[in-house]
Amino acid sequence: QLQLVESGGGLVQPGGSLRLSCAASGFTLDSYAIGWFRQAPGKEREGVSCIRPSGGSINYANSVKGRFTLSRDNAKNTVFLRMNSLKPEDTAIYYCAARRNSCSGYSYEYDYWGQGTQVTVSS
């Protein structure tokens, strides 16, 4: 069974940090681009970041650039999203998704999705 599982979400104060993980089972991630998306209540799902299979090219949304860092460890079949300087507007459910070869900003172009992990930034 092909599956992505996110973890690492939680409640954090503004200015705090979290590291989200996206682990794959049933397939290897080394030929897949991994994207992170988020969806806040009442808002559309938006792209946050994406990393190519080789890890050599990473895209970030302007809203997270300089604060979030995406990395991958293909040996562990896991992708990590490090989130620093978190703001209340980062509150959302965060999803990772996989698609062959290249990144896309369009969620419908991804083949596999995790169940999501809640991130809440609040004092």
% of the chain surpassing 90 pLDDT: 84
What is the distance, to the nearest Å, from the Cα of residue 36 to the centroid of all Cα atoms in its chain? 3
% of the chain surpassing 70 pLDDT: 100
Structural element, H or E, at residue 79: strand 78-83
**pLDDT tens column, 36-46:** 999 999 999 99
**pLDDT tens column, 10-60:** 999 999 999 999 999 998 888 899 999 999 999 999 999 999 988 778 899
**pLDDT tens column, 91-109:** 999 999 999 989 999 999 9
Sheet holding 68-73, edge to edge: 3-7, 18-25, 78-83, 68-73
Q: Provide the 3-class DSSP secondary structure of residue 1.
A: coil
pLDDT the model gives residue 16: 98
Centre a 10 Å sphere on the Cβ of residue 102 and count the other Cβ atoms it contains. Answer: 12
Instruction: Give residues with Cβ within 8 angstroms of 109, minimum separation 6.
Output: 99
Q: What is the mean pLDDT of the chain?
A: 94
